[in-house]
């Protein structure tokens, strides 16, 4: 066998081996990073049941809270279907969920000492009105209310407030 050809063959195999090892290393780093990001994002949060994505209508972005109305609409449509609500009641549920999540996010941010006056001024229509009354106007049965409470922690507490 030709010595030059053997050296090229050996160099090719060595280069292939280094490429594979580098690829495995990069893959391990990416999975580790994804794992760290997932654990940081979900610290203290419970995972939703399999097949169900937990929608969060209000997403804090720094000190400015932004309302994701499309996420709230998707959540209320899904819940409305599960609860057997008509279109008009689904719209009321959407508004209730948006207002509820916004108020909870603002209260949490205030408790952490953040200035949320700009965020509060952005959604005056959701910060007005009585959420308890709006929830009662939906006329949900006990089973429907229990299902809503499972999806939206804190709703049950809303009814117990004076």
pLDDT in tens, 15-52: 888 888 888 888 888 888 888 887 776 655 455 555 55
State the pTM of this model: 0.53
Question: How much is the pLDDT for 59?
Answer: 45
Per-position b or e across 113-147, b if 16+ CB within 10 A of its CB: ebebeebbeebeebeeeebeebbeebebeeebbee
Read off φ and ψ for residue 112, nearest 5 degrees.
-90, 5
Instruction: Give the tens place of pLDDT for each residue, 62-96.
Output: 445 566 677 778 888 888 888 888 888 888 888 88
Residue the block writes with tokens 């999540």: 101
For strand 64-67 and strand 58-61, is the pairing parallel, antiparallel, or unpaired? antiparallel
Within 10 angstroms of residue 108's Cβ, the number of other Cβ atoms is 14
In contact, 99 and 132? CB cutoff 8 Å: no
Which of 65, 58, 59 has its CA nearest to residue 119?
65
Among 85, 102, 101, 98, which Cα is nearest to 137's? 85
Say what the pLDDT of residue 49 is: 53
**Percent helix / strand / coil, the chain, rounded to 5:** 70, 5, 25
Which residues touch 84 (CB under 8 Å, ≥6 apart)?
Answer: 144
């Amino acid at each position: 066998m030709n010595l030059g050809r053997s050296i090229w063959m050996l160099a090719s195999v060595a280069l292939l081996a280094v490429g594979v090892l580098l690829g495995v290393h990069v893959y391990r780093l990416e999975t580790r990073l994804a794992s760290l990001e997932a654990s940081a994002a979900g610290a203290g949060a419970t995972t939703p049941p399999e097949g169900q994505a937990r929608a969060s209508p209000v997403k804090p972005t720094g000190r400015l809270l932004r309302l994701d109305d499309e996420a709230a609409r998707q959540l209320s449509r899904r819940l409305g279907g599960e609860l057997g609500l008509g279109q008009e009641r689904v719209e009321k549920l959407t508004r209730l969920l948006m207002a509820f999540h916004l108020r909870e996010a603002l209260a949490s941010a205030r408790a952490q000492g953040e200035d949320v006056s700009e965020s509060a001024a952005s959604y005056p229509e959701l910060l007005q009105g009585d959420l308890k009354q709006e929830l009662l106007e939906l006329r949900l049965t006990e089973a429907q209310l229990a299902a809503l409470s499972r999806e939206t922690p804190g709703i049950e507490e809303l009814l117990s407030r004076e």
